[in-house]
Structure 1
Amino acid sequence: MLRVGVMVSGGGTNLQAILDAIDSGQITNTEIVVVVSNNPGAYGLERARSRGIASVCISPKSYGDREAFNEAFLAKLDEYNLDLIVLAGFLVRIPEAVTRKYEGRIINIHPSLIPSFCGVGYYGLRVHEAALARGVKVTGATVHYVDNGMDTGPIILQKAVEVEEGDTPQSLQRRVMEQAEWVILPKAINMIANEKQEEQR
């Protein structure tokens, strides 16, 4: 059974997509053991609580400096004995100590076809604003492993979404979520869970 921790900063729609995929059997051999947010008001934490999943808020603002936060963050993750960490709209840079210790065990969903519109400053609506400003005809989402760079780790899955006439950043964001993010993030988790299952046989 793959022990998963999901990191969210806001509404947790990708978290919900994962929970729904576990419920429907699209993801097997997987258990979400904790949901972590840097934002005490994140609705993602409420989604976790309503399912009886441990919910933890740990924010850089609660610590004197970034170093103290980084240590506390790693210590908190270690408590849950995680096989996989899923960044599902988590707007805090992952400390190097975490990417080092959990190398090959952290994945992120990014709302573009990497290497387009990724890296520092590209998150949330900004990604879709940039795609529309550039006039691209196709965008999408990418699931990738997390390394010490920003959106630079090896790609696991991508799915394209067409840009439609009259799209706004908001309408494009919604379609990328529905047609790409909520499809490939559960798929990637299921692939990892079942590869791990094979290895244990």
Structure 2
Amino acid sequence: MAAERKVVVLISGSGTNLQALIDAQNTPALPNARISLVFSNRKAAYGLTRAAQANPPIPTAYLALQPYLKANPGKTRADYDVEVARIVLADNPDLVVLAGFMHIFGEGFLELADGVKPHQEGEAPRKPVPVINLHPALPGVFDGAHAIERAYEAFQKGEIQHSGAMVHRVVKDVDRGEPLIVREVPILKDEPIEAFEERLHKVEHEIIVQGAGKVLAEAKS
């Protein structure tokens, strides 16, 4: 029997990409995989409800930046990133997936995930854990927030013919890590942005599962 692979998913919103991962657990797309934790930086994120309603229910955790800073005078955004890393990596997952997670991590998170620094002082660093992100744009184009709106606007101006989505490894530079899965999505003439967005999201639901499966397969081989 193959060993079970643990996946932690980070979300900020409704969790439709999370749902795609939940549905793919223990199927040929994600064999022997289990989502062991869903973490959100927003308390009202519906993705937390999706996790709680999954069968079996998936444990959840929540920590937002501003309440954390208010409760810990003298702490910084970098301290928050380290605290999130400790929560997310506590169970030694095999993969961390950012699925619509609207917070940009600094080096504090990545140093723990990459096994560069220990989780607690005096501990030895743990094994590196791959971290991947879903981004609704093609590599090197429309990095950062509002990528869908910016691509749609560029199409209206005649600057591009299509956009797309990708799953990439997370590095310090936003949306600049190695692309793992890349899919082009055409923008149709005269279509409203909502229609383009809906088609793009369908692609995202497919590639986030493909990207997770690819990294887990690579880690096993």
Distance 1:71 1:20, change over 3 A: same
Letter in 1 for 2:220: Q
Using structure 2 for the length normalisation, give the TM-score.
0.81
- Per the alignment, residue 195 of structure 1 pairs with 218
The answer to whether the Cα contact below 8 Å between 1:125 and 1:170 also exists between their aligned partners in 2 is no
Is residue 2:86 matched to residue 1:83? no
Is residue 2:172 matched to residue 1:169? no
SS at match of 1:16: helix
Is residue 2:118 matched to residue 1:110? no
Residue 17 (structure 1) aligned to one of 9, 15, 20: 20
Residue 63 (structure 1) aligned to one of 54, 65, 68: 68
Matches within 5 A, 1:105-184: 105-119=130-144, 122-123=145-146, 125-135=148-158, 136-178=160-202, 180-184=203-207
C-alpha deviation, 1:196, in angstroms: 2.4
Equivalents in 2 of 1:131, 1:54: separation in Å?
41
The answer to whether the Cα contact below 8 Å between 1:8 and 1:36 also exists between their aligned partners in 2 is yes
Percent identical pairs in the alignment equals 29
Length, aligned pairs only:
195
Equivalents in 2 of 1:29, 1:23: separation in Å?
5
Is residue 2:79 matched to residue 1:54? no
Give unmatched runs, 5+ long, in structure 2: 70-75, 115-128
- Per the alignment, residue 121 of structure 2 pairs with none
Equivalents in 2 of 1:127, 1:99: separation in Å?
28
The answer to whether the Cα contact below 8 Å between 2:79 and 2:108 also exists between their aligned partners in 1 is no
Distance 1:160 1:50, change over 3 A: same
Distance 1:144 1:166, change over 3 A: same
The answer to whether the Cα contact below 8 Å between 2:78 and 2:108 also exists between their aligned partners in 1 is no
- Per the alignment, residue 34 of structure 1 pairs with 37
Which range moves more in the overlay, 54-63 or 102-111? Answer: 102-111
Give unmatched runs, 5+ long, in structure 1: none
CA shift digits 1:125-146 (9 cap, x unpaired): 4344444344322111011000
Equivalents in 1 of 2:43, 2:138: separation in Å?
30
Using structure 1 for the length normalisation, give the TM-score.
0.88
The answer to whether the Cα contact below 8 Å between 1:146 and 1:152 also exists between their aligned partners in 2 is yes
Distance 1:14 1:33, change over 3 A: same
Rg larger in structure = 2
Distance 1:144 1:183, change over 3 A: same
CA shift digits 1:138-197 (9 cap, x unpaired): 11101100000110111111011111122222221111111x211111011111222223
Equivalents in 2 of 1:89, 1:175: separation in Å?
16
Which range moves more in the overlay, 147-156 or 64-73? Answer: 64-73
**With CA pairs under 8 Å and 6+ residues apart, which has the higher RCO, 1 or 2?**
1
The answer to whether the Cα contact below 8 Å between 1:132 and 1:169 also exists between their aligned partners in 2 is no
Equivalents in 2 of 1:150, 1:175: separation in Å?
24
C-alpha deviation, 1:100, in angstroms: 2.2
C-alpha deviation, 1:25, in angstroms: 3.2
